[in-house]
Amino acid sequence: MSTPALELNQVCKVFTKKERDKTKARFAPKKREKVIALDDVSLSVNRREIFGVLGPNGSGKSTLIRLLSTLLIPDKGTIRVFGHDVEKEEFAVKRLINRVSVDAAFFKKFSPLENLTYAARLYGMPMREAREKMRQIMLRLGLKEETFNQPMEHMSRGMQQKVAVARGFLTSPTLLLLDEPTTGLDPHSKRDVQGFVRQIRAEHDATILLTTHDMEEADRLCDRIAIIDEGKIIALDTPKGLKELVSKRNGHEPTLEDVFIELTGKKMEEKEAE
């Protein structure tokens, strides 16, 4: 039996937040409050699977991505990427992954090509191969050639996010971590990115973990989905299997949003507001 792309076993992550007691003096010591980001999370992701994680802000999605990308270490439990322990074999894991974040950082004075060239050199890619690949990826994502050499600071938020996606795809990672990759994109651009995600999986034998607030995107892209709330996985199944948890209402087939409301008791927007 082949090794799973990703294995989490009873993973916990707790942060400490300092709060000053307002009833005491100004310089009184701050109280320490523990915030549980992930609570005993276990899951397994198969090779070549597009696996989605749905949940509101504060549910633990981004903490999960940071743990998988070795930016954080778990307080308890183990995480393995293609059999490699993220703590004990950090560099082996880093060679297999890449990450696209909703808050991706760039050299804003540089152009998309210059930013991608920097990433290519960082990963030791042959430059002749990398330049052609950059061009193909950016065109596939809907960026126009005349924007390739414009400073990033003059580009819209959506266009910058497309460059972030291009940078994540550039190295053809074995495990691609997409943390809300289509946030800020118009519907047409979202479709471009979603189509390219499928292409990466089909052509490069990649496994993809996707966090998103977009229920339709998760339904359209993912083979299986975990719904996470307050650090716990409260459901995990195929999109079809999740929707079967909810009965029809007024003759309409249930959506993933219906499932989310049923399981958490609140709409996504209400959870966001909190």
DSSP category for residue 253:
P
**Alpha-carbon distance 81 to 86, whole Å?**
7
Q: How many CB atoms lie within 10 A of CB 219?
A: 18
C-alpha separations of 230 from 3, 54, 111, 145, 264 in Å: 29, 12, 39, 43, 10
**Alpha-carbon distance 138 to 227, whole Å?**
32
Pick the CATH number of 6-96+173-273 from 3.90.700.10, 3.40.50.300, 3.40.640.10, 3.20.20.70: 3.40.50.300
Half-sphere exposure of 1 (CA within 13 A, CB side): 4
- Contact between 151 and 114 under an 8 Å Cβ cutoff? The reply is no
- pLDDT, tens digit, 9 for 90 and up, residues 74-124: 999 999 999 999 999 999 999 899 888 877 778 888 999 999 999 899 888
DSSP category for residue 158:
H
Q: What angle do CA 55, 84, 101 make, to 5 degrees?
A: 35
- The pLDDT assigned to 250 comes to 55
- pLDDT, tens digit, 9 for 90 and up, residues 221-233: 999 999 998 899 9
- pLDDT, tens digit, 9 for 90 and up, residues 14-55: 998 766 555 555 555 666 788 889 999 999 999 999 999 998
- The pLDDT assigned to 274 comes to 39
Helix, coil or strand: residue 153: helix
For 139, list phi and psi in degrees, rounded to 5.
-65, -40
**Alpha-carbon distance 231 to 244, whole Å?**
24
* Summary mean pLDDT of the chain: 85
